[in-house]
């Protein structure tokens, strides 16, 4: 790819000429196919921003209102588009403000490259103005990081950064670049990275393990599949569907696996985990073979590990060897890319139905529906519920919207009740549980999929953590839809206080501002709904709008999300009320 400055010699051949490190950074980004990045300028990164100004026709920079917003926007963009998200910040507080997003991307396997400016090399370690050891700070929350102190390092290190971020199990990379390296000139050339010594991003499939897994599945009487985001990252949705249908195995999902399989598929039995569906949680401790695909046995999924699926043979498909036997002992480990390993196993799988086993799921779903679901999505109480808001969005969007959620009760209601018929449709902060994630992530998601409707579902608490990013929507006319479910509480914490702390609501009651007026201050069309008679038409109006739209829905203050597995309990201790 020809992206560097070139000059014509007398013989007609081309040769590279010297360019600054700052300009080299721009050429590296272009060579990697980057056309959009998020960031916030400052002194230590100013040379790069000066070069960005010259390349505005080829590389769009989105000025966020806070560096954390830049990382979450880059995450949303990456999760929907499948590309590497890029964020940029200055040194010191600019760099440290990226850390939450880096940690979130690391635990949720999101490909992201963050570039930070740094004080000149001769000032390193001197406590210079806005100097922070961002390499030391970010080491635990990045897949890889590196500090560039000389300009000539830039092409090789950035090529390596993008390769590491996107390959294998994706993750965030941070590159810190001293100011002198941005100013200095060198002979530029760029070669994309195709491998790093000692780094094996995708283990080679082992046919012996694949055959052993197939034997266990074929012999199972009560098999259960639990799939996670690894299916989406590995683009293995069709292979997963084929396995489920051929083997007749019920399939449940983690919150990050949601949307890999059509939520209306007859073999989709719902969500596992603390607020997952009753049947898959309860029957995890009754299945005889548990097939985990692209998931990491997070504690919110397993509950008490000493009482998790002890009766079952465990098959674990994963690309990351570090996840095998980390939490749950595995009988058969199938390492490799999910798409490749499932394709190799499919011919070995026998046709099956497991009708009696399916009936157990159906019976327990009916119990959950009668006890919980119908009251959530078709309530008889006067106040609005979070579940019925999600259901109205399902109907109005035709299950085609990308739903971006923050963290809390509304997140669990959305993950339980949002319906999808397309992959990469559920964007949420899973492992880190970052309040403030949804608004900037929804902006990034919309920019990564302009042809899709993107709806942010946010609680009144998390919304105020990154509310300043409304400025991006106003400045760049991003047609994202925002729904704030306002119960004037930190809802999830309040629920725990109600159930386990004798209703001592310590620091969870919120006195909120007028959210509609704030959105109107950013020239965003805004509505507030507090009565059921207005909900349907307003949701339809929101989704019909071609511009950004803000909707505040006032919901029940003491509306709890069930089922629930109490902290430290077994999955079979799941409570319906």
CATH code of the domain containing 299: 3.40.50.1220
What pLDDT sits at residue 567? Answer: 87
62/276 Cα distance (integer angstroms): 37
pLDDT of residue 13: 39
Distance in angstroms (rounded) separating the CA atoms of residues 474 and 4: 34
**Same domain? 424 vs 543:** yes
Cβ proximity of 284 and 569 under 8 Å: no
What share of the chain has pLDDT > 70, as a percent? 97
Smallest CA-to-CA distance from 381 within 555, 167, 158, 150 is with 555
Do residues 211 and 183 both lie within one domain?
A: no
pLDDT above 80: residue 12: no
Specify if 195 maps to a domain.
no
One domain, residues 401 and 537: yes
Q: Average pLDDT, stretch 117-142?
A: 97
* Residue 204 near residue 176 (C-beta atoms within 8 A): no
Domain that holds residue 531: 382-554
pLDDT confidence tier of residue 384, bands split at 50, 70 and 90: very high
| pLDDT range class, residue 154, cuts 50, 70, 90 | very high
Same domain for 396 and 531? yes
For residue 19, report the phi and psi dihedrals to the nearest 5 degrees.
Answer: -135, 165
The pLDDT of residue 14: 43
| CATH code at position 478 | 3.40.50.970
Q: Are residues 149 and 280 in the same domain?
A: no
- The kind and range of the H/E element at 525 are strand 525-529
165 and 288 belong to one structural domain: no
Count Cβ atoms within 10 A of the Cβ of residue 546 and give its class: 0-12 exposed, 13-18 middle, 19 or more buried.
exposed
Residue 11 confidence (pLDDT): 36
Q: Is residue 567 part of a domain?
A: no
Average pLDDT rounded to a whole number, residues 378-402: 95
288 three-state secondary structure? coil
Q: Are 505 and 529 in contact (CB under 8 A)?
A: no
151 domain residue, yes or no: yes
Give the DSSP letter of residue 118.
E
- CA-to-CA separations, 343 to 227, 241, 334, 353, 560, in angstroms, rounded: 16, 11, 12, 20, 42
CB within 8 Å of 571: residues ≥ 6 apart: 272, 281, 282, 284, 285, 302, 303, 307, 308, 309, 565
Residue 317 lies in a domain: yes
- Residue 151, pLDDT > 90, answer yes
Distance CA 220, CA 132 (A): 55
pLDDT of 558? 83
Model pLDDT for residues 236-294, shown as the tens digit of each residue: 999 999 999 999 999 999 999 999 999 999 999 999 999 999 999 999 999 999 999 99
The average pLDDT across 203-231 equals: 98
Same domain (yes/no): 26, 153: yes
pLDDT at 4: 54
Confidence of residue 8 (pLDDT cuts 50, 70, 90): very low
What is the model's pLDDT at position 496?
A: 87
pLDDT range class, residue 447, cuts 50, 70, 90: very high
Q: How confident is the model at residue 10 (pLDDT cuts 50, 70, 90)?
A: very low
Residue 69 contacts residue 119 (beta carbons within 8 Å): no
The structural domain count of the chain equals 3
Give every CB contact of residue 415 below 8 A, 6+ residues apart in sequence: 255, 258, 271, 275, 405, 426, 428
Q: What is the C-alpha end-to-end distance of the chain, expressed in Å?
A: 60
Q: Are residues 159 and 253 in the same domain?
A: no
Q: How many CB atoms are located within 10 Å of the residue 342 CB?
A: 26
Interstrand relation of 6-8 and 14-16 (parallel, antiparallel or unpaired): antiparallel
Q: How long a stretch of residues is the chain?
A: 577
Domain assignment present for 569: no
Residue 2 lies in a domain: no
How big is the CA angle at 496 (ends 494 and 501), to the nearest 5 degrees?
100
* Same-domain check for residues 153 and 37: yes
Q: Residue range 434-452: average pLDDT?
A: 98
Residue 476 within a domain: yes
Q: What is the set of active-site residues? A: 67, 129-130, 179, 492
Picking from 521, 404, 506, the residue whose alpha carbon sits closest to that of residue 463 is 404
**Residue 250 within a domain:** yes
Same-domain status, 182 and 251: no
**Mean residue pLDDT across the chain:** 95
pLDDT of residue 539: 98
Is 465 in the same domain as 550?
Answer: yes
Do 134 and 239 reside in the same domain of the chain?
no
Rounded Cα–Cα distance for residues 110 and 303 (Å): 25
pLDDT at residue 25, rounded to an integer: 98
């Amino acid at each position: 790819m020809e992206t560097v400055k070139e000059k014509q010699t007398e013989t007609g051949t081309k040769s590279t000429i010297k360019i600054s490190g700052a300009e080299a950074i721009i050429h590296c980004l272009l060579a990697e196919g980057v056309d959009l990045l998020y960031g916030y300028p400052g002194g230590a990164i100013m040379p790069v921003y000066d070069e960005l100004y010259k390349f505005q026709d080829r590389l769009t920079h989105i000025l966020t209102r806070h560096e954390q917003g830049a990382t979450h926007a880059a995450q949303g963009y990456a999760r929907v588009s499948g590309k590497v998200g890029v964020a940029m910040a200055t040194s010191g507080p600019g760099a440290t403000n990226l850390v939450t997003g880096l940690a979130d991307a690391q635990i949720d396997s999101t490909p992201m490259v963050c570039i930070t400016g740094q004080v000149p090399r001769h000032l390193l370690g001197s406590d210079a103005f806005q100097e922070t050891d961002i390499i030391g700070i970010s080491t635990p929350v990045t897949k890889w990081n590196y500090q560039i102190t000389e300009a000539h390092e830039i092409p090789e290190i950035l090529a390596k950064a993008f390769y590491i971020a996107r390959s294998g199990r994706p993750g965030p990379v941070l590159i810190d670049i001293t100011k002198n390296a941005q100013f200095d000139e060198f002979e530029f050339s760029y070669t994309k990275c195709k491998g790093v010594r000692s780094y094996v991003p995708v283990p080679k499939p082992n046919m012996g393990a694949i055959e052993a897994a197939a034997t266990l599945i074929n012999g199972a009487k009560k098999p259960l599949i639990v799939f996670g985001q690894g299916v989406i990252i590995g683009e293995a949705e069709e292979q997963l569907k084929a396995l489920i249908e051929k083997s007749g195995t019920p399939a449940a999902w983690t919150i990050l696996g949601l949307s890999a399989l059509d939520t209306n598929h007859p073999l989709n039995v719902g969500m596992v985990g603390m607020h997952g569906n009753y049947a898959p949680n309860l029957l995890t401790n009754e299945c005889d073979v548990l097939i985990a695909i692209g998931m990491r046995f997070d504690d919110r999924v397993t509950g008490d590990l000493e009482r998790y699926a002890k009766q079952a043979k465990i098959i674990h498909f994963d690309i990351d060897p570090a996840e095998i036997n980390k939490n749950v002992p595995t009988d058969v480990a199938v390492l490799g890319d999910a798409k490749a390993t499932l394709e190799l196993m499919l011919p070995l799988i026998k046709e099956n139905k497991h009708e009696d086993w399916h009936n157990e799921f159906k019976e327990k779903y009916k119990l959950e529906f009668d006890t919980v679901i119908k009251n959530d999505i078709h309530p008889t109480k006067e106040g609005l519920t979070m579940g019925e808001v999600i259901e109205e969005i399902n109907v109005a969007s035709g299950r085609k919207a990308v739903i971006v959620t923050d963290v809390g009760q509304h997140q669990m209601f959305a993950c339980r009740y949002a319906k999808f018929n397309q992959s990469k449709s559920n964007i949420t902060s899973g492992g880190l549980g970052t309040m403030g994630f949804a608004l900037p992530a929804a902006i990034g998601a919309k920019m990564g999929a302009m042809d899709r409707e993107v709806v942010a579902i946010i609680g009144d608490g998390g919304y105020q953590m990154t509310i300043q990013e409304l400025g991006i929507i106003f400045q760049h006319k991003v047609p994202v839809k925002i729904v704030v479910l306002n119960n004037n509480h930190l809802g999830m914490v309040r629920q725990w206080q109600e159930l386990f702390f004798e209703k001592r609501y310590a620091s969870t009651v919120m006195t909120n501002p007028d959210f509609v007026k704030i959105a109107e201050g950013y020239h965003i069309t805004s509505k507030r709904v507090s009565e059921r008679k207005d909900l349907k038409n307003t949701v339809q109006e929101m989704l019909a709008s071609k511009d950004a739209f803000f909707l505040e829905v006032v919901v029940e203050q003491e509306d709890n999300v069930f089922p629930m597995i109490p902290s430290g309990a077994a999955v079979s201790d799941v409570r319906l009320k």
